[in-house]
Structure 1
């Protein structure tokens, strides 16, 4: 998991990457 900044503001963004049959990344702004 990588933590960065949300592009829409100063909120924290959380990147969740998983490898199953293919690599997928989901981005959550909290």
Structure 2
């Protein structure tokens, strides 16, 4: 499974939205 997918799922479970650091990571992927 892709790392981005895991980040999104973890953020959805924990906070319902990603941390700024995770957003930056996702922007680097796309």
TM-score bracket, shorter-length normalisation: under 0.3
- Normalised TM-score (structure 2): 0.15
More strand by share: 1
Normalising by structure 1, report the TM-score.
0.15
